Amino acid sequence: MGNPTAFIQVQRRATPTRPPLERIHDWSETHPHLAEQELRDQGSRCMDCGIPYCHTGVLISGMASGCPINNLIPEWNDLVYRGQWREASVRLARTNNFPEFTGRVCPAPCEGSCTVGLDGDPVTIKSIEQEIADRAWDEGWITPRPPAVRTGRSVAVIGSGPAGLAAADQLNRAGHAVTVFERAGRIGGLLMYGIPNMKLDKGVVDRRVGLMEAEGVTFRTAVTVGADITADELLASFDAVVLATGATVARDLPVPGRELGGIHLAMSFLRGNTRRLLDGGADAEPPISADGRDVVVIGGGDTGTDCVGTAIRQGARSVRQLELLARPPLTRAADNPWPEWPKVYKLDYGQEEAQALWGEDPRRYSTTTRRFIGRNEHVTGIEIADVTMAPGADGKVALRDVPATNQVIPADLVLLALGFVGPEPVLPRAFDCELDARGNVRAGADRMTSVPGVFAAGDCVRGQSLVVWAIREGRMAAEGVDRYLSRPY
């Protein structure tokens, strides 16, 4: 590295955010750009590791450690430090099809396993990645590059989320004719409808889709495979099929009162809001509004945060967030060592905005929902109780109710952000694909399913996961498809 002591001399400078009380009045992205010299200084903090863990991409204790797509992080950090931005963009594009997406929405497991973070603050890898990608677009370095030779083979990709787009991009580069089928009105899947605009501007998604179209990928929207076109028709028309439908079956909360009006799955809320912003809601059910309501978000994670931020922008009267687990510590616990993902307390953008508005973090930890309370068939409150980890009569330690802690909090809009249990089973069954014990599509290392010529990638295979894992899955499936189509007959 050019400056091997910079990790000592230069302090971490995270990407700045617009003030919370300013940004809650619009749907624009929250992060302005850093000045070039500051970015170069931050890139210089990447030390000359003997073994850089930032790009390992493995699971440790069930959590991602390092970059799942094995980005060449030390290389492009050093190139940024030297001011060689175009070369940095070339290195980044070798492993990541969509760095402008991951630079915005990835939780950065790379930073969690950065060696500088072992005893200090990690390198600002995520923000540097976004700046490289954005500069490449702004400078015109990213232009359509259709394959010079076509193979004469065709592939159908079902689903246009990050896994489907990554598979389509790789297969098109290999020279195959790729058609992507999407049941929604716009391409992007989770990227378009599941992630709010203030985290990922939809123009960023449309720009990439336009590039892929210019390179030869065909996109067909508002097409439901299994209804508008059958599985048999696809198998007869294409040489291979990739299922990239995501894990869209949400985890529900079957407690008394669940049937009351005003209780919604988080994705219904987020999807409707984005459709309203993009299309005025013309292609969807009327969006769910938090305007003037007491909103309670049940569940944490990125989806819960997105619900908090969206509800605030819609004009909610109040926002609370309930989390079942205890509040994380401020620093790594003894059982959460580096290079594991650091499970520590932090304020994400939604909670930061709620705190700026109402003076406190909206999250209430170690809390369970006992029942929903309503009037005139609409929710008006939630009975909650505290829980703690304690041994039961059988001696096993588990979450137990804390006696005499029941109380009722007001709520006339409840959003369930409890994660996802797997893919919708209709489509895998239409292709006669085997499912595993969790209901996910069973696929081999090459991502071929139990049906020859039918592959699967992303959350429909591995379960709910990160965008960066979906990109890796799409690339793996594309490699498997390419080998399948290249086999001798």
Asked if pLDDT for residue 311 goes beyond 70, the answer is yes
The CA-to-CA distance between both ends of the chain, in Å, stands at 49
Domains of the chain from N-terminus onward: 6-138 (1.10.1060.10), 154-248+424-485 (3.50.50.60), 252-418 (3.50.50.60)
In this predicted model, what pLDDT tens digit does every residue of 202-230 receive, in sequence order?
Answer: 999 999 999 999 999 999 999 999 999 99
In this predicted model, what pLDDT tens digit does every residue of 85-131 receive, in sequence order?
Answer: 999 999 999 999 999 999 999 999 999 999 999 989 999 999 999 99
Considering the chain, what percentage of its residues have pLDDT values greater than 70?
99
pLDDT of residue 46: 95
Q: Where are the alpha helices (H) located in 190-342, listed in sequence order?
A: 202-214, 231-237, 266-279, 301-314
Quote the Cα angle for 104-107-109, to 5°. Answer: 125
In this predicted model, what pLDDT tens digit does every residue of 110-119 receive, in sequence order?
Answer: 999 999 999 8
pLDDT tier at 410, thresholds 50, 70, 90: very high
Token pair 């931050």: residue: 42
Tell me what the mean pLDDT of segment 146-152 comes to. Answer: 97
Asked if pLDDT for residue 281 goes beyond 90, the answer is no
pLDDT of residue 264: 98
H/E stretch holding 384 reads strand 378-391
359 CB neighbour count, 10 Å cutoff: 7
As given in the structure block, the two tokens for residue 341 are 């993902």
pLDDT of residue 1: 66
Torsion sign, CA atoms 336, 337, 341, 347: positive
pLDDT tier at 64, thresholds 50, 70, 90: confident
Asked if pLDDT for residue 283 goes beyond 70, the answer is no
pLDDT of residue 282: 57
d(CA 218, CA 177): 8
Residues 72 and 87: beta-carbon distance below 8 Å: no
Residues 250 and 283: beta-carbon distance below 8 Å: no
Tell me what the mean pLDDT of segment 76-80 comes to. Answer: 96
Asked if pLDDT for residue 261 goes beyond 90, the answer is yes
Tell me what the mean pLDDT of segment 164-173 comes to. Answer: 98
Residues 192 and 205: beta-carbon distance below 8 Å: yes
pLDDT of residue 279: 83
H/E stretch holding 315 reads none
166: left (phi over 0), alpha (psi -120 to 50) or beta: alpha
pLDDT of residue 14: 84
